[in-house]
Amino acid sequence: MSRENPFAKARVFCLGWSLKGGPCKNCGRQSLSFGSSLEKRIVPTYNFLRSLLSEKNVIGVFKRRSWIFLVDHCKDVVPNIGLLRELGMPQPSISLLLAHYTHVTMNKHKRFGKIVGEVKEMGFSLRTSTFVFALHTLCGKSSKLIWKRSRKIFMSWGWSEDDFLSAFRKNPEFTIVSEKKLVQVMDFLVNKMGWPSGMIARYPRVMRHSLEKRIRPRSLVVKVLRLKGLIDENLSLGYVMHPQDRLLVERFVTKFQIEVPQLWNVYQGKVGIEDV
């Protein structure tokens, strides 16, 4: 299938097949109909997306947000992208937004402009990708309620307004974690592991990690090493939680295996710290 044949490609889209010849399993019934004009809707939208994204990313948009092919993208998407360009957002960030958060660009232009203004007022720079993540966090129908809910939870753990806003600027999407998980992670880190609440405010990305697969095993290993006086008491939370598993194991498990033979079992959850 030639790259210069958008009509054929659009027809493939409509039939629910990817450009590589595989079925689009995530496509809804609406996407497979020709209720939207091929020439007036689907092909122009495809051409617009392809002018900004790779072919692979256009396929991804179709699989995740296929309804963009059924609406007039010139009505809101084009002016929304134009606004971001006018304000100085670089092309890589625009492509990131369009490829992974397509629904954000489909907001009504007036509402979109208002949210862009709010994100700017919070101190985000359009030159960074965090602006995209902040837009994603605040553009949903219930986003403001979720944001306020998260702020209330963290302030109940001693964060100030500035702590919360600073954390939000570092990692906007930590605020959309479920209320249940936010409470569980804070309870574990602060009450059970003794991490200062203010430390967590400096590393908000921790809230997006898995409690059982990453936060708990790493915290238990560090607590054992602290109790035995083998590591600095003032390690940062990010130094413990952010590295990939291989580096973490080298840094805290393998390094102290002679001094603490059971450390690997602690990391794997096979023994508790009271048994070491």
Segment 225-234, tens digit of pLDDT: 999 999 998 8
Secondary structure letter of residue 17 according to DSSP: B
Domain-embedded: residue 262: yes
Residue at 154 is within a domain: yes
Are residues 5 and 36 part of one domain? yes
Q: What is the pLDDT of residues 60-98, one digit of tens each?
A: 888 877 777 777 788 899 999 999 999 999 999 999 999
62 shares a domain with 81: no
C-alpha to C-alpha distance for 197 and 67, rounded to whole angstroms: 43
Whether 151 is in a domain gets the answer: yes
User: Given 45, 69, 93, which residue is the final one in a domain?
Assistant: 69
Same domain, 96 and 106: yes
- Domain match, 116 and 153 both: no
Host domain of residue 88: 75-140
Residue identified by tokens 């967590």 is: 200
Specify whether 148 is located in the same domain as 136: no
55 and 105 together in one domain: no
Q: Among 14, 11, 61, 70, which residue's Cα sits nearest to residue 40?
A: 70
Instruction: Report H helices in the chain.
Output: 6-14, 43-50, 55-64, 77-87, 91-100, 102-105, 109-121, 130-138, 143-156, 161-170, 179-186, 197-202, 216-227, 237-241, 245-248, 263-267
- The answer to whether residue 190 is domain-embedded is no
State how many domains the chain has: 4
Give the integer Cα–Cα distance in Å for 89 and 21: 35
Please report the pLDDT score of residue 46 as a whole number: 85
Rounded CA separation 169/238 (Å): 16
Contacts of 187 (CB under 8 A, 6+ apart): none
Region 169-195: mean pLDDT is 96
Residues 35 and 49 in one domain: yes
Q: Which of 109, 124, 140 is the last residue of a domain?
A: 140
pLDDT, averaged across the chain: 87
User: Distance from first CA to last CA of the chain, Å, rounded?
Assistant: 63
CA distance 181 to 153: 11
| One domain, residues 122 and 146 | no
241 and 268 in one domain? yes
Name the percent of the chain lying above pLDDT 70.
86
Q: Are residues 169 and 135 in the same domain?
A: no
Question: Does the predicted model carry a pTM greater than 0.85?
Answer: no
Residue 150 counted as domain residue: yes
- Torsion of the alpha carbons at 75, 17, 14 and 98, rounded to the nearest 10: 0
Residue 123 and residue 153 share a domain: no
Mean pLDDT within 184-204: 96
Same domain, 80 and 62: no
**What is the model's pLDDT at position 13?**
53
